[in-house]
Structure formats: C-alpha cells, structure tokens
Amino acid sequence: EVQLVESGGGLVQRGGSLRLSCAASGFTFSNSWMHWVRQTPEKGLVWVSHINGDGSGTTYADSVKGRFTISRDNAKNTLSLQMNSLRAEDTAVYYCARSFEHWGQGTLVTVSS
C-alpha cells in the first residue's frame, strides 16, 4: 500500500523558515516524480514544486522560486521542502504527492504577520 506522510508544519513568523518532510512507503520511491501542492480555501489547489526520481531535476512555482527548495533522500525514502523567507500568503495545507496519483494527508503551515 502506498503511504505518504507529511510532517513539519506549524506556526512560524513572517520571514522565518520551516522544513517539511514526506515519508514515503509502498512503492519504488527513487523511480517516482514527487510534487508539493498547497491548498487554501481562497485559491484551492496550487502546485508548488516538483523533483524527478534521482533529484537531478527540480521546478518551482514562480511564487516560491528562490525561497523554497525541494530535495529528496532516496536512501531514506523521504521528500523535503525547505521553506525560507515565509510570507503570510504561504499559509496553506501542504501536500506531497507521487505523480499526483497518491497524496499524503497534508500538513498545515501558518505564517503569522
């Protein structure tokens, strides 16, 4: 059974940093493209970032480029999202997803101003 479990969310001040993790199991992690997607009631689902299987290729939404960094550890089956210079508009539930076929339960990030 595919499982994706996010962690690391919480309350952080504007300008602060947070690191999200996603623990993956039940599939060959190193073969899978992984994504971060965030959700707010106002904007719905918004794609944030992607990384290919070996970590050599990454892409970002313009809204997070230069502030967020996606990475993966294939030995530990873990996906990460380092979020720096956080803004109020980064407040959202963040999901990790395997090729959009499987999704985690989400972790809430709240940026206080």
Partner 1 sequence: DVVMTQSPLSLPVTLGQPASISCRSSQSLVHSDGNTYLYWFQQRPGQSPRRLIYKVSNRDSGVPDRFSGSGSGTDFTLKISRVEAEDVGVYYCMQGTYWPPWTFGQGTKVEIK
The residue (of 44 and 75) whose beta carbon lies closer to partner 1 is: 44
d(CA 23, CA 37): 15
Residue 13 CB, nearest approach to partner 1 (Å)? 27
Comparison of 2 and 15: residue with beta carbon closer to partner 1:
2
How far is residue 44's CA from residue 2's CA, in Å, rounded to a whole number? Answer: 24
C-beta of residue 41 within 8 angstroms of C-beta of residue 108: no
Which stretches of 1-113 are DSSP H helices? none
**27 interacts with partner 1 by CB under 8 A:** no
Residues that bind partner 1 (CB under 8 A): 35, 37, 44-47, 50, 59-62, 95, 97, 100-106
